[in-house]
Amino acid sequence: MDPRGATQSAPAARPLRVLHIEHDPADVDLCVRELKRAGVKVHFETAATPDEFAAKLSDNSFDIVLADYRLPGWTGTEALAEIKKRGLDLPLILVTGTLGEGVAVECIKLGVTDYVLKDQMARLPMAIHRAQEEKALRDAERRAADALRESEARYRGLVDNAAYGIYWATLDGEILQANPALLGMLGYASEEDLRQLKNVENFFCDRLIFGGLSETFRKNGCVDSQVDWKRKDGKTITVRLNGRRIVDPARRHNCVETMVEDITEKLALEKQLVQAQKFEGIGQLAGGIAHDFNNMIGAIVGWADLGMEESEAASRLHRHFQKIRQQADRAAALTRQLLAFARKQILEPRDIHLNHSVAETLSLLEKVIGSNIEVKRNLAGDLAVVRADPTQVEQVLMNLCINARDAMPEGGCLTIETSNVSFDEAYCAAQPAARPGRYAMLSVSDTGTGMDAATLDRIFEPFFTTKEMGKGTGLGLATVYGIVRQHGGFVHVYSEVGLGSGFRVFLPCSSSAVATSDKQEDSAPVRGGDETILVAEDHEGLREIAREALATQGYQVVLACDGEQAVRAFASQPGRIDLVLLDVVLPKMNGPEAYARISNIRPDVPLIFATGYSADIDLLRKARLEGLPVLQKPYSPRDLARKVREALDQHARMVSHADD
């Protein structure tokens, strides 16, 4: 019902469009009358000659063709041939006076839909109706077939272009079909090449696993598992299989459809991430321990040095202090290694050539490496400059060479190489530590015992070692890892049991093309003075050793145990304090904050920061931009006295130039 309550009639049916091939108008009228009497709405058009028929047929808008069997110069079956020639599915009914049984059968075989004799015209509406129904069925079947072909094409497109591998196999594992992704995954050029394996079982590195999966599949009708497969080239990949039972329409029996994902790189990345997170956690612990340990070691070193200076060189007491100092030096070295692994070392980077570092380090290692080990060098002549701390780079090379020596107890060959390399985004996607750009590569390889996969997973862990108890600390390679990572580089290791090992260190290239020369250590005696020094240090042992070391040199010393106390001490006598020594990390107020307060009181006061922890560098960024000196912990009394004298003399020169 419409809104006004009137009944809406259904839309009028479209008239049946009929093309009648007939030369006799009376016969045409006969057909029209018969159809109208049956209530069939009809639109009639006629054609008497082949040309007229062809012209009408080109319109392709007719529902049915009626044709006399015999026409002047041609026949109804010839009209049918023209319809087929054009590829049209257009029913043709013969309306003829006489048609023998044999001819009628032949016409039906040729594709005539039906025939109606002119003396039985009452059959015409029914024949047309049946012809339309048959055509409607054919149209529906054709649409279904087209839809099926389209669906199959879409499915085939999805399968062929899928990122995942897909294969079909019998329940016994016989390979039926595979998509291009699976072929590429396994390194095969074609399905025929793949089918030569005959059975999926041959993909598996362990065929017992295949048997277990087959049994699980038969019970559950599906499988979801992670397994190792072997490629055509022999390489092993790890894949995730997700299979289900389906009915193969071509063979009408059950088969297995399996999705295959290559997760080899994914697992490698996950492993690297877990390793990085583990190292980060260990590094934070190691860095925190080393930071606190540094202060204690500094106090031990200081008191040992003072003891040696104040005792007779030939006395037992002097030797005792020497032993203490030696052990303190070993502890300090251990602390530096922990800080290196934790990437907390204070670096002094310069533009350097790795080739120079190789030459200097090998000159030191010649006696240590041993005569039974041949040392080969292959150094790039055009090696790019890197920005790095030369001492730390030499430590990396030394640790790697000693590690190689220890892996060749019976002798062998140690090869050191350098070269320029570049990495793009694609490579760095699989190397979390890498960044796109240019690198200088330092390679140290040996022909030693090599390492298995379990050892390779742990070689950079601090305190992990394969040596006997007491033969090593397990910090050599951990130090290498930390130093390289702190310089923005990364390390790649490859090794096989019995075939040796290779370590490749990649350090980012510097924008400079020229290396800077190393600093020469000042060997001149340390001069003292009578100036007043304010020392702010929260560690009691370091405060006392600083006071004693400076007082021994003639200085007056004012002590503070935190930042606020240091500011108050300076504010109470700003004209008396000649230099301020501030630890970076202090209770209540850190060193840089205390310096800001002190410089507001007296901007020109000389200052030295003391730290042993690179995490403090962020606090020191502004101070370092101003060129303020930094004293690294643990320091000896001599280092402290030298740094203080240098800062005081530099300040005096600046004042003198200003007066001039």
For 438-482, write each residue's pLDDT tens digit. 898 888 898 888 888 778 877 777 666 666 544 555 567 877 887
**Cα–Cα dist 483/388, whole Å:** 10
Strands 532-536 and 556-560: parallel
**Cα–Cα dist 343/55, whole Å:** 90
Question: Has residue 10 got a pLDDT over 50?
Answer: no
How far are the Cα atoms of 65, 115, 117, 607 from residue 100, in angstroms, in the given order?
Answer: 21, 11, 11, 126
CATH number at residue 33: 3.40.50.2300
Strands 437-446 and 412-423: antiparallel
Name the pTM for this structure.
Answer: 0.44
Q: Are residues 288 and 432 in the same domain?
A: no
Q: Look-up: residue for tokens 């309550």?
A: 5
CATH number at residue 235: 3.30.450.20
Q: Are residues 251 and 278 in the same domain?
A: no
Mean pLDDT along residues 183-204? 83
Among 197, 195, 199, smallest CA distance to 172 is for 199
Q: Are residues 100 and 179 in the same domain?
A: no
Q: What is the mean pLDDT of the chain?
A: 80
Q: Are residues 224 and 298 in the same domain?
A: no
> Looking at 262, 283, 299, which one is the last position of a domain?
262
**Cα–Cα dist 362/35, whole Å:** 111
Question: Has residue 219 got a pLDDT over 70?
Answer: yes
pLDDT of the residue at 555: 92
Q: Look-up: residue for tokens 């150094």?
A: 379
Mean pLDDT along residues 625-652? 82
Q: Which string of b and e fits 310-326 if b means at least 16 CB within 10 Å?
A: ebeeeeeebeebeebbe
Phi-psi region of 503 (alpha: psi -120 to 50; beta: other; left: phi over 0): beta
Q: What are phi and psi of 245, to 5 degrees?
A: -85, 130
Mean pLDDT along residues 277-302? 65
pLDDT of the residue at 615: 46
Q: Are residues 488 and 425 in the same domain?
A: yes
Question: Has residue 95 got a pLDDT over 50?
Answer: yes
Contacts of 556 (CB under 8 A, 6+ apart): 530, 531, 532, 533
Question: Has residue 182 got a pLDDT over 80?
Answer: yes
**Cα–Cα dist 213/226, whole Å:** 10
Number of domains in the chain: 5
pLDDT of the residue at 470: 47
Question: How much of the chain, in percent, has pLDDT values that exceed 90?
Answer: 5
Pick 311 or 523 by higher pLDDT: 311
Q: Which domain holds residue 473?
A: 350-508
Residue 175 lies in a domain: yes
pLDDT of the residue at 497: 86
CATH number at residue 440: 3.30.565.10
Q: Are residues 303 and 408 in the same domain?
A: no
Q: Are residues 601 and 625 in the same domain?
A: yes
Q: Are residues 354 and 502 in the same domain?
A: yes
Q: Are residues 206 and 85 in the same domain?
A: no
Query: What are the tens digits of pLDDT across the range 365-412?
Result: 776 677 788 888 888 888 888 888 787 788 788 888 888 888 888 888
Q: Are residues 408 and 452 in the same domain?
A: yes
Q: How confident is the model at residue 580 (pLDDT cuts 50, 70, 90)?
A: very high
pLDDT of the residue at 250: 56
Q: Are residues 313 and 367 in the same domain?
A: no
Residue 145 lies in a domain: no
**Range in 340-354, 472-486, 529-543, 611-625 with the lowest mean pLDDT:** 611-625
Q: Are residues 390 and 459 in the same domain?
A: yes
